Amino acid sequence: MKKTFLNKNKTLIGLLGYEFLVVCPQCASCAKVIALDDSSPYVANVRRRFVCTTCGTTKDKVIKANGYGQARVSYEPKADYEVILIGDPYDWYFQLPLYLQIECSGNTLWALNLEHLNYIESYIEAELRESHPYYLSVESRLPKWVKFAKNRADVLKAIQKLKVKLNEKS
């Protein structure tokens, strides 16, 4: 039987942004950025915390509201104001490089956390996919190269490598 991927319609914003595995700028270990309180990046004036259990570094950041009472969120890089960028291999709040990223088929494959990585894996593994995923879902936002059939084996291999990397650190 062929594996079918049913759209889970999880969004990076809605469900996966509660935790980011990042590279600690002090000791290069795997550290975490966690969303305290509400994990939606649009919510301003709540705390986002960086924690490295290896070297003990902790930092908090509160994202200020714009004129509409929200944090600024963008899928496109803009340099002229504080903005939470989504869609790059960095956490949204401290802009630290994600721990789960790897070169693959001439691009960078990345995931915010293990749940996100597993989500991408189940999507790529599936041979049949439901059409019309929700436009903001993880599956509809995956770059085209990740979905190309010719890259499928490479992408799955890269995901396995990231899982090994994650297991080795703990």
List of residues contacting Zn ion (CB under 5 A): 24, 26-27, 29, 52, 54-55
Our CB check for Zn ion shows the closer of 45 and 54 to be: 54
Our CB check for Zn ion shows the closer of 52 and 124 to be: 52
Least CB distance to Zn ion at residue 151 (A): 33
Our CB check for Zn ion shows the closer of 27 and 128 to be: 27
Least CB distance to Zn ion at residue 32 (A): 10
Q: Could you tell me the two tokens for 122? A: 């189940």
The rounded distance, in Å, linking the Cα atoms of 92 and 142 is 17
- Please answer whether residues 158 and 146 qualify as being in contact, where contact means their C-beta atoms are separated by less than 8 angstroms: no
Contacts of 103 (CB under 8 A, 6+ apart): 109, 158
The rounded distance, in Å, linking the Cα atoms of 86 and 109 is 14
Least CB distance to Zn ion at residue 25 (A): 8
